[in-house]
Amino acid sequence: MDKDTIQKKLKALGIGRFQVMALLQAARHYLLKKDLRKAKSFGLNRAIFYAWAKYYGPHKYPYRLMRVMEIMRKQRSGGKIVRCPEGFVEELGECVELSPRGYYMIGSNEQTEYDFDRQITRKIKLLLDPEKAWKAALEYVSSFPEEILRHPGKFYKLVYEPVRDTFFVELLEKGRVEAPKEYIDYLARDSTNKKKGRSLYDFIGTDKEKNGN
């Protein structure tokens, strides 16, 4: 299939950024924690959370999220800052609600491995072998340093964002998904640039300015 045909199929089947986010977040969690059940729960949970936050915008968080922020502020006492409120755990740099059964959740809804398979795996299966997509996600995510995988902001910006619209297109065209060459080249020189006081974010900004983006 050519790129245009693939993109049309993806749109017709409703496969897009939500599935990419869930897949890459699950791969990220699995590579670091080695627990497939919880990795699928985390992947779907984060996909829902980011879609939710994007829909409502920075000034329109649902009441539930605003309440969480209020609780976190109130728990700052005695000079000690409590990172996450009761019922939440810090997972890969973010506060995530945990159910009594050990699944990640939003509100009163658990995100289980079965939910992941229903909402993500079955969707992907309409276009390609889900196992192939999972292996591609693991290979792609593992090409980044652990420091980036453990940092939610860096993961979003450097791992997810560059392929959020191209992951499945590349996979169907080339059989694999690769990080953009400019990111990999920079990562190879990262230690040198750190000594010079330049971060990967500086590089991204400069790169976008050069390309007029």
Contact 163, 16 (CB under 8 A): no
Cite the DSSP H helix spans in the chain. 3-13, 17-33, 36-56, 63-74, 113-116, 122-125, 130-141, 146-150, 152-154, 167-174, 181-188, 190-195, 200-210
At 196, which amino acid appears?
K
Q: What is the pLDDT of residues 14-45, one digit of tens each?
A: 999 999 999 999 999 999 999 999 999 999 99
Segment among 127-131, 141-145, 192-196 with least mean pLDDT: 192-196
Is pLDDT at 55 greater than 70 in this prediction? Answer: no
What secondary structure letter does DSSP report for 25? H
